[in-house]
Structure 1
Amino acid sequence: MTTVLDIDAHGGQHCETTALGVLLRHQGLDLSEAMLFGLGSGLSFIYWDSKNMGFPFLGGRVKPFDLTRNLATGLKVELVVQETTSPRRAWENVVAPIDAGHPVGLQLDSYHLDYFGSKVHFGGHVVAMYGYDEHDAYLVDTDQQGGAVSTSLTSLAQARAARGPMTARHRSFTLTAPRNLPSPQGRIIPAVTACADAFLDPPIANLGHRGIEKAGKLVRTWLRRTDNPERDLPQAARLMEKAGTGGALFRNLYRDFLAECTHLLDSSHLRTGHALYTEAATLWTEAAALITKAGESGDAQCLVQAGTIICDLSRVEREAMQALRRLGSDTPSAIQPGQ
Structure 2
Amino acid sequence: MAIVEGVEPRGTHHCETTALGVLLRHEGLDLSEPMLFGLGSGLSFVYWDGRGMPLPFLGGRVKPFELTRNLAARLGLTLDVAETASARKAWENAAAAVDAGRPVGLQLDCYHLEYFQTRVHFGGHVVAMYGYDEHDAYLVDTGPQGGAVRTSRAALAKARAERGPMTARNRSFTLTLAGRPPRWRERIVPAIRDCAEAFLSAPIANLGHRGIAKAARLLPGRLERAADPRRDLPRAALLMERAGTGGSLFRALYRDFLAESAQVTGHAGLRAAHALYAEAATLWAGVAALIAEAGESGDPAPLKRAAALLGDLSRIEGDAMESLRRL
TM-score range, shorter chain: over 0.9
Q: Which residue of 2 aligns with 1:268?
A: 268
After TM superposition, the structure 1 = structure 2 runs for residues 23-172 of structure 1, keeping only pairs within 5 Å, are: 23-172=23-172
Does the aligned pair in 1 maintain the 2:59–2:246 contact within 8 Å? Answer: no
- Taking a change above 3 Å as real, the CA distance of residues 246 and 21 of structure 1, as seen in their structure-2 partners, is farther
Query: Secondary structure in 1 aligned to 2:326?
Result: helix
Verify: 1:242 aligned to 2:236, yes or no: no
Separation in 1, partners of 2:261, 2:164: 37
User: Which runs of no fewer than 5 residues in structure 1 stay unpaired?
Assistant: 328-339
Q: Which residue of 2 aligns with 1:3?
A: 2
Q: Match of 1:136, as an amino acid?
A: D
CA RMSD of aligned residues (A): 1.4
Query: Secondary structure in 2 aligned to 1:223?
Result: helix
Separation in 2, partners of 1:223, 1:161: 33
Q: Which residue of 1 aligns with 2:174?
A: 174
Q: Give every structure 1 segment of 4 or more consecutive aligned residues whose post-TM-superposition deviation is greater than 4 Å.
A: 244-247
Query: Secondary structure in 1 aligned to 2:243?
Result: coil
**What whole-Å deviation, never above 9, does each CA across 1:133-152 have from its counterpart, x for those lacking one?**
11111110111111101111
Separation in 1, partners of 2:12, 2:53: 29
Query: Secondary structure in 2 aligned to 1:242?
Result: helix
After TM superposition, the structure 1 = structure 2 runs for residues 153-232 of structure 1, keeping only pairs within 5 Å, are: 153-232=153-232
Separation in 2, partners of 1:227, 1:3: 46
Separation in 2, partners of 1:146, 1:167: 23
Does the aligned pair in 1 maintain the 2:115–2:149 contact within 8 Å? Answer: yes
- Taking a change above 3 Å as real, the CA distance of residues 249 and 217 of structure 1, as seen in their structure-2 partners, is farther
Does the aligned pair in 1 maintain the 2:240–2:246 contact within 8 Å? Answer: no
Query: Secondary structure in 2 aligned to 1:123?
Result: coil
**Which region of structure 1 is more displaced relative to structure 2, 80-89 or 219-228?**
219-228
Deviation at 1:247, TM superposition (A): 5.8
Q: Match of 2:206, as an amino acid?
A: N
- Taking a change above 3 Å as real, the CA distance of residues 312 and 244 of structure 1, as seen in their structure-2 partners, is closer
Deviation at 1:325, TM superposition (A): 0.5
State the TM-score, normalizing by the size of structure 1. Answer: 0.93
State the TM-score, normalizing by the size of structure 2. Answer: 0.96
Deviation at 1:246, TM superposition (A): 10
Does the aligned pair in 2 maintain the 1:59–1:249 contact within 8 Å? Answer: no
Give the total of aligned pairs: 326
User: Which runs of no fewer than 5 residues in structure 2 stay unpaired?
Assistant: none
**What whole-Å deviation, never above 9, does each CA across 1:88-142 have from its counterpart, x for those lacking one?**
2112111222111111000111111121122211111100001111111111011
Does the aligned pair in 1 maintain the 2:2–2:132 contact within 8 Å? Answer: yes
Does the aligned pair in 2 maintain the 1:115–1:149 contact within 8 Å? Answer: yes
**Which region of structure 1 is more displaced relative to structure 2, 42-51 or 316-325?**
42-51
Separation in 2, partners of 1:98, 1:219: 45
